[in-house]
Structure 1
Amino acid sequence: MTTLLTEQIYYDNNQLQIEACSISSIAEQIPTPFYCYSKARLLTNITHCKEAFENYGIDIHYAMKANSNLHILRLMNQQGLGVDMVSAGEMRRAEAAGIPANRMIFSGVGKSETELRQAIETGICQFNVESAEELALLASLMNEYTRPVNIALRVNPNVAVDTHKHITTGTKGNKFGIEATQTLSLFRQYADHPLLNMNGLAMHIGSQICDTAPYHQAISRLLELVNILEAEGMKVSSLDLGGGFGIDYGDGQKLSFEAVAKTIAEATTDFNGKVVIEPGRSLIADAGVLVSRVNYVKQAEPRSFLILDAAMNDLMRPALYQAIHPLVAANTTDYDSNAQSSELKSSELKSSELNSSELKRSELMNVDVVGPVCESTDTFARDYPVSSRTKAGDLMVFLCTGAYCSVMSSGYNSRDIIPEVMISNDEIQIIRQRITQDDLMKFEV
């Protein structure tokens, strides 16, 4: 059994709360669907991460692709974190959030010449280079500049991880990184370049990893390369070990900051240089929820459909890689007057203990949870248990949607791009306004 509710997202008198605000009261002010974040939960996660890694002198760079809202980036900056970026757009956002260039790392397998130039001119602290072709382009561009840049070659360590095939990044056949033998060759080739400081190795083996063993194996392979290079007189002064630390989506599987920090520290005991990690999901995911309203409970065979006003354009992860986000009711008063919330179970989630008392099985119905978009893939969950009293107009809440959710939003089916809201105690702040079709059509004149 695993609890997904926290001190910041919890039930009180049958009402789901984010800090001091009930979801129902927020929805009275902001039309559904919308994303909603707990500032306190985000800060708690950052604090736990810093306590785990900074004790070992490990630098933390937030992986912006998880959630690049400016308000969230400013909080990361205020907490002293650097950022890991994968586009010029993310670099622009980092600058707008006040993050200094010396705390920016630029990753990504397909950086354009324009993006490379912008990063050089910004003065970022490190390029994570992913191919011989990218390194050659950087070298040619440096003929126009006088200030050197720091280079870490991203190694593909060919380490298998137990995660979805669409979020593995460190095995043979993935587009990311450079094979070990080629890494050595490139390091040697550019070691004496006057403006390319070849001083680092990087890796990222995947996302939603819940076991430390793959990290230990991959780090060992990086250190083998370090030993070879240093034996030849070349100095490796930086190891970027990526992120991908798994969180609990309801099955009890996760990887704690403390566990992975200890693994990294033990594996790099003999490494004399800077060690960097790039967490994203593990900092922000459980600080966010997606609030939606039931449009219809459509009677059908073999199961009824719970049709929400949120759709795949708002929450892409289920369609993209069959992710499951636990779904709970914002108000359980009509379901069970004695329960503060309900325990939901499904074949996908094994068991998710979301409260202290569960609805009786006779009070549950299994439904397919879907949205209104005209695609069969607009499905959030199949054969999912909800209260048999669920009806049109009820508020439903997807948990753990702070990462890789709002950033994937689109206007597909000419739907609005939904707002984002930050909650701080009893304060409600819209941190991204709804982007309407009128807004979008202005660009089509």
Structure 2
Amino acid sequence: MHHFTYRDGRLFCEDVALDTIADAVGTPVYVYSSATLKRHARVIAEAFDGMSCLIAYSVKANGNLAVLRTLANEGCGADVVSGGELKRARAAGIPASRIVFSGVGKTRSEMRLGLEEGIHQFNIESSAELAVLADVAKSMGKTAKVAVRVNPDVAAGGHPNISTGKSGDKFGVPWSEAELAYDQIAETDGIEAVGVDVHIGSQIDEIAPMQAAFERVIDLIKRLRDKGHAISRVDLGGGLGIPYKSSDTPPPPSDYANMIREVTEGLGLDVILEPGRVIAGNAGVLVTEALFVKPAPQRNFLIIDAGMNDLMRPALYQAHHDFMPLRERPEDAEQVRYDIVGPICESTDKFAAERLMPRIEGGDRLAIMSAGAYGAVLSSQYNARPLVAEVLVDGDQYAVVRRRPEFEEMVALENIPDWLS
């Protein structure tokens, strides 16, 4: 569910018309709904009511400070994959004790930052990383709490590029080496094993592969405990899918929670979840303006002012996003097929092919739906285009939570050497 609806022929985010925001801020612009963010966070929390569960929102899905503060106020922790994301989470008010540090390539300085802050745990992805973290922790006179991310060799995810739990993926310790990693921890000063971590992919639309992976992890935990390892936590990652189109029917969080209850029953484990897309995805849209319609042999190009630098997912994953005109069209409106493309000088700058839509003219505005996750965080200044602005709506009020930079700001970090003067 989201809070983007038509009222009297205009598309609203909560109680603010999107064209009001577009008039004031310009396009393209991301618009996020506070009510949707809060509702999704609460639905997950309610599904796991009665369990010891840390909901560590995945900052990489949408790291805007205002979004993070909204979720911090709902009691969410954070899953981070860089020192910068850790600093973002702390700046937004998320306690370090509710932060999990994941990722395959942590630097020594990032490890030091996590230890200085006193984070909940590090999710470790290789024996080499364990050795480096132990060395950093010992140099600081600290002990790092760790969970090893294991790769259970279970395929899942809506696209090969977002499947992370199959043999051959770069993520996690190979299943055959998992117990050896815990033996290494037991023999090494500066690190302490507290949990096991698994994450098998993103945009997963069925429970079965997750259950298969989780059951393998629970069996591993039992074996580790039998060997004397004090495993008290299980981090089950994220990955639950969202409906990008009306025909999508991902499982609800309640089904996910019931499965996890069943799998972990009687083990006294503290559960950690890393939801990102399922909280933020349908809480945001990218508002764009049609520039031109360009007829061509066998197709019509609808050229919009948003580009792949603003929303990378279609170019990166061939991802589907619905388009909704900001002015509602009648049910019997003429339908036209468009290739919807942006202004970037790349053939991959395409949002949809042969998309059937009501007739669109230059100057019409559209909302690219389900753009709240992996949207602005992946944006760039390619083609010297400024980063897209972001707006947060709360009821009948809104605020610009990331402004569009001026050209001078875009080049402020660059310098022309004296010899070129």
TM-score range, shorter chain: over 0.9
* 3-state secondary structure, aligned to 2:354: strand
Shift of 1:256: 1.1
CA contact under 8 A between 1:417 and 1:436: conserved in structure 2?
A: no
8 Å CA contact 2:340, 2:352 repeated in 1: yes
1:213 to 175, 197, 208: 208
User: Are the counterparts in 1 of residues 37 and 71 from structure 2 also a CA contact under 8 Å?
Assistant: no
Contact 2:135–2:190 under 8 Å retained in 1: no
Would you say the 8 A contact 2:157–2:239 is kept in 1?
no
Query: 1:162 and 1:316 mapped to 2: Cα distance?
Result: 18
1:315-370 CA-partner distances (Å, limit 9, x unpaired) = 000000100110010002xx43xxxxxxxxxxxxxxxxxxxxx335xx10101000
* Aligned position for 1:351: none
2:161 alignment counterpart: 166
Report the CA distance between 1:157 and its aligned residue. Answer: 0.5
Deviation at 1:192, TM superposition (A): 4.3
1:46 is matched with which residue? 41
Matched residues in 2 for 1:162 and 1:396: separation? 29
Q: Quick one: which amino acid aligns to residue 5 of structure 2?
A: Y
Tell me the secondary structure at the aligned position of residue 193 of structure 1.
coil
What's the % identity of the aligned pairs? 40
CA–CA separation in structure 1 for the residues paired with 2:7 and 2:158:
35
Change (3 A) 1:88 1:375: same
Q: Aligned partner of 1:366: which letter?
A: R
Distance 1:33 1:211 in 2: 34
TM-score by length of 1: 0.91
Match of 2:400 in 1: 430
Structure 1 contact 241–277 (Cα < 8 Å) conserved: yes
Counterpart in the other structure of 2:419: none
Which residue is 2:306 aligned to?
Answer: 310
Deviation at 1:162, TM superposition (A): 5.0
2:74 corresponds in structure 1 to 79
TM-score, normalised on structure 2? 0.96
Contact 2:293 2:362 in 1 (8 A): yes
Q: How does 1:243-262 map to 2 (within 5 A)?
A: 243-250=238-245, 251-262=247-258
| Kept after mapping to 2: 8 A contact 1:415/1:436 | no
1:193-342 alignment to 2 at 5 Å? Answer: 193-250=188-245, 251-332=247-328, 335-336=329-330
CA shift, 1:34, in A, is 0.3
Preserved contact between residue 63 and residue 280 of structure 1 (Cα < 8 Å)? yes
Contact 1:36 1:423 in 2 (8 A): yes
Q: What one-letter code is carried by the residue in structure 1 that aligns with 2:30?
A: Y
1:420 corresponding residue in structure 2: 390
Q: In structure 2, what is the Cα distance between the partners aligned to 1:182 and 1:249?
A: 37
Matches of 1:134 and 1:366, distance apart in 2: 51
1:82 Cα offset (Å): 0.7
- Distance apart, 1:142 and its partner CA: 2.3
Q: For residues 137-189 of structure 1, what are the alpha-carbon distances to aligned partners after superposition, in whole Å with 9 as ceiling and x for unaligned?
A: 11222221222221100000101125200000000000000012311011012
Deviations 1:239-282 (A, max 9, x none): 00000110000032312110111111101103222111110000
Do 2:52 and 2:269's aligned partners in 1 also have CA atoms closer than 8 Å?
no
What amino acid maps onto 2:181 in structure 1? L
CA shift for structure 1 position 57: 2.8
Partner of 1:11: 6
Are positions 1:32 and 2:53 aligned together? no
1:88-120 CA-to-partner distances (Å, cap 9, x unmatched) read 010111111121111110000111122112111
1:91-102 → structure 2 map (5 Å cutoff): 91-102=86-97
Classify the secondary structure of the residue corresponding to 1:443.
coil
Structure 1: give runs of 5+ residues left out of the alignment: 337-357
Partner of 1:180: 175
Indicate the residue corresponding to 1:364 in structure 2: 335
Distance in 1 (CA, whole Å) between partners of 2:332 and 2:81 is 45
Distance 1:263 1:321 in 2: 29
Matches within 5 A, 1:146-165: 146-165=141-160
Q: What letter corresponds to residue 29 of structure 1 in structure 2?
A: A
Q: Distance in 2 between matches of 1:145 and 1:116?
A: 11
- Deviation of 1:194 after TM superposition, in Å, equals 4.0
SS in 2 for 1:155: strand
CA distance in 2: counterparts of 1:160 and 1:271, whole angstroms: 26
Deviant stretches of 4+, over 3 Å = none
Cα distance between partner residues in 1 of 2:332 and 2:186: 65
Residue aligned with 1:422, SS: strand
Counterpart-to-counterpart distance in 1, 2:11 and 2:38: 20
- 2:134 corresponds to which residue? 139
Match of 1:379 in 2: 350
CA contact (8 A) 2:387 2:404 kept: yes
| Aligned residue type for 1:327 | F
